[in-house]
Amino acid sequence: DVQMTQSPSSLSASVGDTVTITCRASQDIDNYLGWFQQIPGKAPKALIYAGSRLYPGVSSKFIGVRSGTDFTLTITSLQPEDFATYYCLHYHPYPYTFGPGTTVHIK
Amino acid sequence: EVQLVESGGGLVQVGGSLRLSCTASGFDFSDHYMDWVRQAPGKGLEWVGRGRDKAHSHTTEYAASVKGRFIISRDDSKNSLYLQMNSLKTEDTAVYYCARRGGRDSSGFFHDFDFWGPGTLVTVSS
């Protein structure tokens, strides 16, 4: 099964900062990688699919990049509503697995 | 507007059973794969399983942690997805979400997990 590692597990940043989160797959998953944002008590929200493509309606401040089995999510110009937990998910092959999550805190 | 609403959660004893429902609206449910994802209290997300559409014979896939105990089914006439949970364990305590696999973009990539329901809480008590 594919294992997903995610780093850092948490980070602190200020409004206006740019932050980057990394997920690494244990084997080649092609571009089958998504990123999700979750605010406490709410359902996850889809941000990026296929490694780098924005879901409709998602702000271009979220940038996904793939380099081999490494995937990064960069969030530019952090706003108060961006402080949340972010998860990556690989969705090929089965079984799918989420990364453990990265919580972005306000500094 | 796409909407997904889970129901059927509650308190159940270890070894018991529970059936969750996910009712969909705002799209042609029968054309879409659907997933179940869960989140234990204070923990991360865990994919539970997937139910394919009628065109793919409503076949299913499961995570190892639930395979043989959970069954995903659907009733397209009721726009509903189900999760039958048997032989429940305390570690199955979680909020359970259903999520949709959306359509393809112009390059052929699917919008996997594009919409999620608000979730329903299942508590398994010993």
CB nearest to A100's CB, from B44, B62, B118 = B44
pLDDT tens sequence across A68-91: 999 999 999 999 999 999 999 999
Rounded distance between C-alpha atoms, residue A70 and residue A64, angstroms: 11
Q: Are A44 and B97 within 8 A, CB to CB?
A: yes
Question: So what's the pLDDT on residue B122?
Answer: 98
DSSP SS3 for B77: helix
pLDDT band with cut points at 50, 70 and 90 for residue A40: very high
Query: Nearest-CA distance from B114 to chain A in Å?
Result: 6
C-alpha closest to that of A100 among A53, A36, A55: A36
Query: Nearest-CA distance from B113 to chain A in Å?
Result: 7
C-alpha closest to that of B16 among B121, B94, B124: B124
- Give which of B62, B112, B115 to mutate to test A binding, by max A Cβ within 10 Å: B112
pLDDT tens sequence across B95-120: 999 999 999 999 999 999 999 999 99
Question: So what's the pLDDT on residue A27?
Answer: 97
Question: So what's the pLDDT on residue B123?
Answer: 98
Query: Nearest-CA distance from A18 to chain B in Å?
Result: 24
Residues 6+ apart with CB under 8 A from A77: A16, A17, A18, A61
Question: So what's the pLDDT on residue A47?
Answer: 98
pLDDT tens sequence across A7-36: 999 999 999 999 999 999 999 999 999 999
DSSP states along A40-81: TTS--EEEEETTTEEPTT--TTEEEEEETTEEEEEE-S--GG
Cβ proximity of A54 and A65 under 8 Å: no
Question: So what's the pLDDT on residue A82?
Answer: 97
> For A44-70, what is the mean pLDDT?
98
Question: So what's the pLDDT on residue A88?
Answer: 98
Residues of chain B with pLDDT under 70: none
End-to-end CA distance of chain A: 37
Question: So what's the pLDDT on residue B46?
Answer: 98
